Structure 1
């Protein structure tokens, strides 16, 4: 019997940002770095490379591997703080930029808490997002609404990856920040027919044909 595929926690944020981006990365195995992702990689490498330590009754564990088959997730957490007196767990996710208007980051952090809960059997009521651009820690409470939203995204990602289908491109302002913009070609894929797309691929300097924007 084939074991169900465990979804990387990072796929949830990719999906919340753009379902097509999620499919390109996790189904088609397409990836490219830009300046923003490179900065993020350096930040996470710096965080993950830190040694475990204890300060003022708190144990700090970095690069924590988690696996939660019941909810279908696997991943690595930037930082987990544990109160040594009570055992209470507190996940912290590091982000390159600043707080976002949508709930992408909150979903990713909540998923981390759900994994910790499945693995330890204890309740994880809150965690934090730390943003490099603002140097500020934002505490997130894992409300019933956020938990339900996170479980919904997990189910949607699982269904999309199981289908093997990549959603069509839907161009928006968020596309400009995406490292896969050139590979995805959202404007081209959304606006042009396959004939026009083929013409654009094989056009020569002397063809004197109009190409899509």
Structure 2
């Protein structure tokens, strides 16, 4: 299970299925901005500063949890790994970014045979880090999301489209998805305008 699939699933199960079952992808302004932000993190180069060794584009995997992927950055603070995930926007109300980061922590725990208690999300809009504690609740959520996403992907299940203005407006797969609610909103808007104009409906 790709680590990114957990973030996709919690953000929108249909988006996850379109990417990981249907193998669809498209770019928009938000994905391009994210790619630019990741350029340095994905360079694969490392550096040491103030006693912290920074590793970039780190391959991760967990046999126990069936996860694999790439961490943008892993800071080695002595022998302790500290994952840092780069995101283009701002901190969000949902926990999709936190789940993706926690999954990285679970992989690092297995790979390095030690506890990883926290990591950080770096958001491009405010240029700040948000520290994320890998507490029991977040760990349980991460494993539950991994199981749900894995079950759906293995079954080849693509959930039906459900329109949500803010979420769908930011999704690069909108034209592939064609959420039903978006068309319903257009129909409602037209009906409302007709009613206001006083045009009689058909008998």
**Normalising TM by the smaller chain, what interval?**
0.7 to 0.9
Aligned to 1:34: 28
Are residue 58 (structure 1) and residue 56 (structure 2) matched?
A: no
Give the distance between the partners of 1:112 and 1:67, measured in 2 at CA.
8
Question: Taking CA–CA contacts closer than 8 Å with sequence separation of 6 or more, which of the two structures ends up with the larger relative contact order?
Answer: 2
How many corresponding residue pairs? 183
Query: Is 2:65 aligned against 1:71?
Result: yes
The residue number in structure 2 matching 1:102 is 94
Match of 2:147 among 121, 136, 155: 155
Aligned to 1:19: 13
Distance in structure 1 (CA, Å) of the matches to 2:181 and 2:82: 44
Q: In structure 2, what is the equivalent of residue 49 of structure 1?
A: 43
Offset, 1:50: 5.5
Distance 2:127 2:142 in 1: 26
Q: Tell whether 2:201 aligns with 1:181.
A: no
String of CA shifts for 1:144-194, please: whole Å, max 9, x gaps: 000000000000011001111111111112111100001110127986xxx
Paired with 1:36 and 1:55, the residues of 2 have a C-alpha distance of 31
Is 1:169–1:190's contact at 8 Å kept on the other side of the alignment? no
What corresponds to 1:123 in structure 2?
A: 115
Please, what TM-score do these two structures have when normalized by structure 2? Answer: 0.87
Secondary structure at 2:38's aligned position in 1? helix
Alpha-carbon distance, 1:46 to partner: 2.3
State the shift of 1:16 in Å: 0.5
Q: Which of 109, 114, 121 is equivalent to 2:106?
A: 114
Distance 1:31 1:70 in 2: 29
User: Quick check: 1:62–1:78 contact (8 Å CA) kept in 2?
Assistant: yes
Unaligned runs of 5+ residues in structure 1 are 1-6, 192-213
Please identify runs of 4+ aligned residues in structure 1 that moved more than 3 A. 188-191
* Structure 2 gap ranges (5+): 185-203
Task: Give the TM-score normalised by the residue count of structure 1.
Answer: 0.83
Alpha-carbon offset, residue 120 of structure 1: 1.0
Q: CA deviation at 1:69?
A: 1.8
